[in-house]
Amino acid sequence: MELFGVIGNPISHSLSHVMHNAAFQDMNKDAIYVPMHVEEPDLAAAIYGARALGFTGINVTVPYKEQVVPYLTSLTPEASKTQSVNTVLFTNNEIIGHSTDGAGFAQAVVNELDIKLAGKRFLILGAGGAARAIIHQLAEENCQLIIANRTRHKAEQLAQEINPNFANQVQVISLEQADLAKATATSEIIVNTTSVGMEATIDQSPLPVELLLPQHSVVDIIYNPQESNLLAAARKLGCQTRNGVGMLVWQAVKAWEFWWNIKPDVDVMYAALNKSLDKN
């Protein structure tokens, strides 16, 4: 039996095992995927322990996506670009770090909104870890990007990393209403990558909802709740809306491609996740 899992802290909220195990079963794979709580001082032991136990691969989630890098023998270009790893492959001699978050987000948007990315104008709310992967990927796909983040210098740092390579595709604005109004008026797709809309901020929106226009497509990478405050307001206005389930599924699909060079049944993964979320 092949062993897989995800390490993080906290990990009890993770639904990764639900979709991976459903897809293993669907494809008659003799494999199992388990969530694993790891304390920070044990991170190196967890990585080397997984290798010693014969794991084929693991996923890495918050807060270890950057911290795991020193324990790996090499990084793929996708992981190197963002210095962030969400997928690890153990081979005989190597522990290889990869990142599927950006490509997973992009694939979810292309499929779920039925669009081509090149030239699309995005307003991205947030500049944390998930935003980092998403923004690097969208820049590579020749999208025009405006970023607004509570801590402005994090957005500016991202723009500085990207703009020299991609002809100034990234613009940074403040969270002032006037700046957001200008940005929403010129954007086609609005993406929330902040955690505003879940847990303690479940009743809040990361964007004043009166700035939404019916022609916007709105993606919130939060998936629990399945419909955030922002998405509910956008849907009521007639916008096309999608939650974070698609990103979660497609980053997992791309992890399978990295581990095994095969593609799971995407519909099985969506169904397993949505069933599990419906129970919450």
Catalytic amino acids? 65
Contacts of residue 69, defined as CB under 8 A and 6 or more positions apart, other chains included, come to 75, 79, 83, 85, 97
- Closer to ligand NAP by CB, 91 or 177: give it: 177
- Asked whether position 222 contacts ligand NAP by CB under 6 A, the answer is yes
- Asked whether position 221 contacts ligand NAP by CB under 6 A, the answer is yes
Give the count of residues interacting with ligand NAP (CB under 6 A).
24
Contact 254, 276 (CB under 8 A): no
- Asked whether position 150 contacts ligand NAP by CB under 6 A, the answer is yes
What track of x and - describes contact with ligand NAP for positions 86 through 115 (by CB under 6 A)?
------------------------------
Question: How far apart (Å, rounded) are the C-alpha atoms in residues 130 and 145?
Answer: 15
Pairing of strands 74-75, 217-220: unpaired
Pairing of strands 240-242, 217-220: parallel
Which residues in 200-219 contact ligand NAP (CB under 6 A)?
201
Residue 267 per-residue DSSP state: H
Which of these segments, 28-36, 150-158, 160-168, 177-185, binds ligand NAP (CB under 6 A)?
150-158
Q: Which of 108, 152, 160, 154 is nearest to 128 (CA)?
A: 154
Question: How far apart (Å, rounded) are the C-alpha atoms in residues 41 and 44?
Answer: 8
Which of these segments, 14-22, 70-78, 192-200, 229-237, binds ligand NAP (CB under 6 A)?
192-200
Contact 16, 59 (CB under 8 A): yes
Which of these segments, 41-49, 128-136, 177-185, 256-264, binds ligand NAP (CB under 6 A)?
128-136
Q: Which of 255, 262, 271 is nearest to 79 (CA)?
A: 255
Can you tell me which of 162, 233, 247, 255 binds ligand NAP, judged by CB under 6 A? 247
Contact 136, 82 (CB under 8 A): yes
Which of these segments, 17-25, 147-155, 178-186, 260-268, binds ligand NAP (CB under 6 A)?
147-155
Can you tell me which of 27, 62, 115, 268 binds ligand NAP, judged by CB under 6 A? 62
- Asked whether position 151 contacts ligand NAP by CB under 6 A, the answer is yes
Question: How far apart (Å, rounded) are the C-alpha atoms in residues 135 and 245?
Answer: 18
Q: Which residues of this chain interact with ligand NAP, rule CB under 6 A? A: 62, 126-131, 149-151, 154, 193-196, 198, 201, 221-223, 244, 247-248, 251
